[in-house]
Amino acid sequence: MSFLTVENIVKDFGGLVANNNVSFTIEEGEIVGLIGPNGAGKTTLFNCIVGYHRPDSGKVTFRGKDVTGFRPFETNRAGIGRTFQIMKVTTGMTVLENVMVGSFCRTNNRNTARGEALHVLGDLALDAVKDYYINELPIAIQRKVGLARALATKPALLMLDEVASGLNPTEIEEVVELLRRLNSAKKITLFLIEHIMEMVMKVSQRVIVLDYGEKIAEGLPADIVKDENVIKAYLGEKYAQGL
Amino acid sequence: MEKLKDALDFSDFSKAERIGLVIFSVFLFAFPWIGAGSFTTTVMIQFLLFSLFGMGWNTIGGYGGQVELGKAQYVGIGSYTVALMMVWWKVPFWVSMPIGILIAVGYSFIIGYPLFRLKGHYFAIATICTSLVLKDIFDNWNLVGAAKGIELPIHDHPDFLYMQFKSDTYYYYFIMALFYIALFYMNWFRKSKLGYQLRMIKDDEDAAESLGIDIRWCKIKAYSIASAFVAVGGGFMAVYNLYIDPASTMELSLSIKIALMAMLGGAASLWGPIIGAAFLVPLDRFLGSWLGGQKGLTGIDFMIYAALIMIVSAYQPRGIWGIIEQFRKRGH
Amino acid sequence: MLIADALLQGILMGLLFALVSLGLTVIFGVMDIVNFAHGEFLMLGMYSVYWANLFFHIDPLIALPVSAVVGVLLGLASYYCFIKYLLRGPAIAQLFGTFGLMLFLQYFAMFLFSADYRMIDKGLLVGKSLSVGPFIFDWTKLAAGILSLIAFAVVYYFLHKTKTGKALQATSLNKEAASYMGIRTDRMNAIAWAIGGGTVGMAGGLLVNFYYAYPMVGILFVMIAFACVALGGFGSIKGVFFAGLLVGILEMIFPVFGHLIGSDFLGPHFKFTVVYLAYFIIVVVRPQGLFGWKN
């Protein structure tokens, strides 16, 4: 039995099919990338798994448990964490408080929550900014805070939505390093949407490609870049024929 | 034990705030001894009562960020429970008030469950509606005195069980005790798991849900805590005024006042509701007694009051505490 | 028979309710703000016709444009002097702000006109009734219903057929997109407030023919208007028309049911309770309103 099983997910937004019959599995400990052109339905697929959308049909199983149609807080409690592509810039809570909310997911004690939040912040080298508000921080740090918040809920599977977009090459390098470390040291399974091909290819062990809501390819990064369907989807029909 | 420590621990506030709290507390304790007249005592009692209401509202309205405008129905539940049980069965205040709280909490769960499916304006107006429905029912229900209201039996001798005293000073100290319980509770609340979760919900609901927070349930919990606070105040109103009617306990304007005090002072801060009440209650009272009584000036007091609300909401929506914090930040 | 009568009376009241709620929904649609002071515009519309009638002996029906003009001016003044500044703040401040405006206008009216209940006693239609078969209609209510319908139709035409009206609709669909297309949001907001004030002021002018004017009269009608707007779906013009009719009928028919089954709890005192409950149930069960389109 697989760690995460997604079977025949269909999501239709009033005639606009965002996900059509998508199926795949993820094994424990893997790093899997999800790529596809804009509007391919990547974020919708994430939302269907996590529970922001209820799929029209299909089934999601996580660690042997049917989590289809769970609310996001229920999937989180089951062990799936996620980050958002766009972090809402808020002014109400400091970085530490944000991460503490994450830790409170697993404990009722404030001191324990605080200790764990500090630990996660230390792990991500965010100690220095712990008393800042999110709106006072550059975007790269905001992303990291989002990641820290999700990590503090102690997920077994972490789903990252474009964690590297808007970052410069050095920052991307750092994120790649960090993700690898989380995967190897903390044994967290990673599933990431990414736009930046370079990064996906570097970090993922396996890649799934979506186009127009359908899965068009799946395999090792090295094979995916050579896949005819993928090239077509990314570069357009004409270019592919010219190859 | 740890909870108690959290409740009494004000160490994360600035020195100025702590000194302010001490001076304020000394003033509160000494107030009846510094030769206060009966009018100022009434104003002080109102101030403490509205601080209590405001602190309650602050859980759901301030920390949770929900525009809740139906708190008056819980004032009604609290006061009617105490009054009716006393009139019908001679139940002492100390028994009927906890029952009032239980009813308020139970009712808030029943109402809260459908209510918190709503958001934004829908939610705000729905809270008003629920409160008005209850008022309509009490206005027309002969068993509970309808619009005429009910008078509580007056005892010949002061009676602690029924909270009947000759002097306002006793009521003053009683509401002051409630005020401090509320203050300590709120001091714990803002540091509690629920407090953190509510602030997250206010900031970003989607993110909150992704962090394992059951948003609706959190809101319902905060709503019922707020309702319990307000019901306590309602129970006090019944024994203090010895007369209650739907107009004085369940009117929309009361709901608005409660929310307004917290807003004006600064929502989602521990001091906000207290500052708001300290500002609005005396203003309301003094304007009323100076201007309201004059011939030909009826309404002027409320016009000033309303103009103030308008100015604050247009120019300083973060309230008085917001202004103070702004100055402090500039100081750094 | 009783039911048929209540139905017809309810439709007449419903047409008036629709006119009362129209402005609220237009304002909500264009700028996402709930105007608590809407009922006070109605109240001042009522007073303007009342005073015109008392001092200048103008027939209440002929004085109707006065109330509409008063409403438009009120709407514009509120927008330019106050609401504009309110928009910068958070939603909760907006709610309190319009609530403050409501209190201010209430007590302003009390200061000027005292708390007395006032009613028009002379006029072309006042006190006259029309009997059609077994039904008896007050001419004042009949006129209110018909004129409300006409006013509603005019505004509907304006919103759907004129350039300005279409711009207004575009703004309410998508503010940002509209502003990219060169529609000035600020101007659209002002127009929405002018329409809002004008229609509700006129509704007040019609209402005063058969209902008391007093400083606090607005709150009752603003709650009804909230219910209608929610029922119709916030921001929906078509929706608010049918919702108004529905609320009017509900309000008339429930006391009749109560009377028929001899229950006190459906008595006339509770007719507005029914409206509040209807609002509550509708928004919980169907938040987009019965005919809604806007989230």
The full set of domain ranges for chain A reads 1-79+156-243, 85-154
Which residue shows structure tokens 């740090």? A141
A113, closest residue in chain B (CA to CA): B193
Q: Could you tell me the pLDDT band of residue A82, with boundaries at 50, 70 and 90?
A: very high
As a whole number of angstroms, the distance between CA C64 and CA B184 comes to: 58
- DSSP states of B146-178 as a string? GGG-EEPPPPSS-BTTTTB-SSHHHHHHHHHHH
Beta strands in chain B (DSSP E): 150-151, 243-244
Query: What is the rounded average pLDDT for all residues in chain B?
Result: 87
The rounded distance, in Å, linking the Cα atoms of A240 and B41 is 86
Distance between alpha carbon C153 and the CA centroid of its chain, in Å? Answer: 15
Q: Is A61 exposed, middle or buried (0-12, 13-18, 19+ CB in 10 A)?
A: middle
Q: How far apart are CA B152 and CA B174, in angstroms?
A: 19
B212 and A73 within 8 Å at the Cβ level: the answer is yes
**CATH architecture of the domain with residue range C2-117+134-285:** Orthogonal Bundle (1.10)
> 3-state DSSP: chain A helix, strand, coil percent, rounded to 5?
40, 25, 35
| Chain B residue with minimum CA distance to C107 | B299
Q: Is the pLDDT of residue C264 over 60?
A: no
Note whether A147 and A99 are within 8 A (CB): no
Of C101, C111, C269, the CB nearest to B310: C101
E strands along A94-220, which residues?
157-161, 189-193, 206-211, 214-219
What the block records as the tokens of B225 is: 């805590």
CB C40 within 8 A of CB C21: no
The residue ranking higher by pLDDT, C98 or B164, is C98
What is the predicted pLDDT for the residue at A79? 92
Chain B interface, best mutation among A49, A104, A147, by max B CB count within 10 A: A104
Alpha-carbon distance B206 to B214, whole Å? 11
In the predicted model, is pLDDT for residue C21 greater than 70?
yes
What pLDDT is attached to residue B178?
Answer: 95
Tell whether B132 lies on the interface with C, counting CB pairs under 8 A. yes
Query: What is chain C's length?
Result: 295
For residues A51 and A28, give the distance between their C-alpha atoms in angstroms, rounded to a whole number. Answer: 21
Q: What is the mean pLDDT of residues C135-152?
A: 83
Q: Which residues of B touch A150 (CB under 8 A)?
A: 210-211
Assigned token pair, A45: 């697929």
**What's the whole-number mean pLDDT along residues A78-105?**
88
What's the confidence (pLDDT) of residue C293?
A: 46
pLDDT digits (tens, 9 = 90+) for A20-75: 889 999 999 999 999 888 888 889 999 999 999 999 999 999 998 999 989 999 99
- Contacting residues of B for C102, CB less than 8 Å apart: 306
| pLDDT (mean) for B184-192 | 93
Of B37-46, B122-131, C66-75, C277-286, the one with minimum mean pLDDT is C277-286
pLDDT at residue C287 tops 80 = no
Q: For residues B217 and C265, which has the higher predicted lDDT (pLDDT)?
A: B217
Q: Does A150 touch chain B (CB under 8 A)?
A: yes
Tell me: the pLDDT tens digits for B139-161? 888 888 777 888 888 877 787 87
Taking an 8 Å Cβ-Cβ cutoff, which residues of chain B contact chain A? 2, 6, 191-193, 196-197, 199-200, 202-204, 206-215, 268
A235 pLDDT band (50/70/90 cuts)? low
Phi, psi of C132 (to 5 degrees): -120, 110
Write down the pLDDT at residue B51.
Answer: 95
Alpha helices in C123-184 (DSSP H): 139-161, 163-173, 175-180
CATH placement of domain A1-79+156-243: 3.40.50.300
Interface of B with C in 261-290 (CB under 8 A): 263, 267
Tell me the chain B residues in contact with residue C284 when contact means C-beta distances shorter than 8 Å: 114-115, 117-118, 126
Q: How many other C-beta atoms are found inside a 10 Å radius of the C-beta of residue C128?
A: 12
> Among the listed ranges A156-165, C82-91, C101-110, which one has the minimum average pLDDT value?
C82-91
Is C92's CB within 8 Å of B129's CB? no
Do B298 and C226 make contact, defined as CB atoms within 8 angstroms?
A: no
Q: How many CA atoms lie within 13 A of B211 on its CB side?
A: 34
What's the average model confidence in pLDDT over B293-297?
A: 64
pLDDT for the residue A119: 93
Cross-chain Cβ contact B259/C96 below 8 Å: yes
* Distance (Å) of CA B202 to CA A93, B195, B220: 10, 11, 14
B203, A76: Cβ pair inside 8 Å?
no
pLDDT-derived band at A208, boundaries 50, 70, 90? very high
- CA nearest C225: which of C206, C199, C205? C199
- Nearest-CB residue to B197 (from A88, A91, A104): A104
Among C34, C100, C108, beta carbon nearest to B310: C100
Tokens encoding B158:
């002061």
Element holding C135 (H helix, E strand): strand C135-138
Question: What DSSP state is assigned to residue C266?
Answer: G
Q: What's the 3-state SS for A37-71?
A: CCCCCHHHHHHHHHCCCCCCEEEEEECCEECCCCC
Torsion angle in degrees (nearest 10) through CA of C6, C7, C12, C18: 120
Least confident of C69-73, C121-125, C266-270: C266-270
Q: Across the interface, do C95 and B252 touch by the CB < 8 Å criterion? A: no
Q: Which residues contact B287 (CB under 8 A, 6 or more apart)?
A: B300, B301, B302, B304, B305
Cβ density class A90-112: b for 16+ within 10 Å, e for less:
bebbbbbbbbbbbbbbebeebee
User: Is B317 touching C (CB cutoff 8 A)?
Assistant: yes
Tokens of B323: 């202004």
Of the listed ranges A235-239, C78-82, C238-242, the one predicted with least confidence: A235-239
Closest-CA residue to C248 (of C267, C265, C231): C231
Which DSSP category does B299 fall into? T
Query: Chain B: nearest CA to C128, how far in angstroms?
Result: 32
Amino acid (1-letter code) at residue A235: L
Do the strands A214-219 and B150-151 form a parallel or antiparallel pair, or are they unpaired? unpaired
Compute the distance between CA of residue A83 and CA of residue A89 in angstroms, rounded to an integer: 14
Task: Report the b/e string of B108-128 with b at 16+ CB within 10 A.
Answer: beebbeebbebeebbbbbbbb
**Contact (CB, 8 A) for B129 and C275:** no
Task: Specify the pLDDT at position C269.
Answer: 63
Strands C135-138 and C129-132: antiparallel
**Paired tokens of A174:** 């750092």
Q: Are A76 and B208 inside 8 Å of each other by CB? A: no
Could you give the CA distance from residue A67 to residue A147 in angstroms, rounded to a whole number? 23
Whether pLDDT at C258 is above 80: no
- Å from A235 to nearest chain B CA? 34
Asked if A214 and A56 count as a contact pair (C-beta separation under 8 A), the reply is: no
- Residue C295: pLDDT band (50, 70, 90) is very low
Neighbours of chain C (3+ CB pairs under 8 A): B
What percent of chain B is predicted at pLDDT more than 90?
A: 40
- 8 Å CB contact between A89 and A184: no
What integer pLDDT is reported at residue C200 of this predicted model? 93
Q: Is residue C30 within a helix (H) or strand (E), and if so which, with residue range?
A: helix C2-31
| C206 in Cβ contact with C48 (< 8 Å) | no
Task: Report the alpha-carbon distance of residue C212 to residue C104 in Å, rounded.
Answer: 20
Q: Which bin fits B120, alpha (ψ -120 to 50), beta or left (φ > 0)?
A: left
B332 has a pLDDT exceeding 70: no
* E strands present in chain A: 4-13, 16-26, 31-35, 57-62, 65-66, 80-82, 157-161, 189-193, 206-211, 214-219
> Per residue in B193-213, pLDDT tens?
999 999 999 888 889 999 999
Q: Do chains C and A touch (3 or more CB pairs under 8 A)?
A: no
Subunit contact C108:B317, Cβ cutoff 8 A: no
Record the tokens describing residue C9, joined without a space: 């009376």
B329 or B92, higher pLDDT: B92
User: How far B306 CA lies from chain C's nearest CA (Å)?
Assistant: 5
pLDDT tens digits along C35-48: 889 999 999 999 99
With vertex at residue A82, the alpha carbon angle to CA A77 and CA A85, rounded to the nearest 5 degrees, is 155
pLDDT tops 90 at residue C216 = no
Beta strand A65-66 with A214-219: parallel, antiparallel or unpaired?
Answer: unpaired
Token couple for C144: 């209110």
The answer to whether residue A216 scores a pLDDT higher than 60 is yes
Rounded CA-CA distance B228/A75 in Å is: 32
Closest chain B CA to residue A80: B210
Smallest CA-to-CA distance from C210 within C288, C138, C102, C131 is with C138
Find the mean pLDDT for residues A94-98: 92
Q: Tokens 């350039």 appear where?
A: C163
Distance (Å) from the C-alpha of residue B36 to the closest C-alpha of chain C?
32
Q: Within a 13 Å sphere around the CA of C30, how many CA atoms are in the beta-carbon half?
A: 29
Report the chain C residue with the minimal C-alpha distance to residue B253. Answer: C103
- B300, C111: Cβ pair inside 8 Å? yes
Characterize C204-221 residue by residue with b for buried, 16 or more Cβ atoms within 10 angstroms of its Cβ, and e for exposed. Answer: bbbbbbbbebbbebbbeb
pLDDT bracket for residue A98 (50, 70, 90): very high
Closest residue, chain A, to B216 (C-alpha): A73
Predicted pLDDT of residue B5? 84
Quick check: A76 and B210 CB within 8 A? Answer: yes
Q: Is the pLDDT of residue B97 over 60?
A: yes
Please give the residue of chain B at the shortest CA–CA distance from A155.
Answer: B211
**For residues B253-265, average pLDDT:** 86
User: Contact C37/C219 with Cβ under 8 angstroms?
Assistant: no
* Alpha-carbon torsion angle B87, B93, B96, B101, nearest 10: 130
CB proximity B309 to C under 8 Å: yes
* Mean pLDDT on B233-252: 89
Which ipTM value was assigned to this complex?
Answer: 0.89
Q: How far apart are CA A143 and CA A87, in angstroms?
A: 7
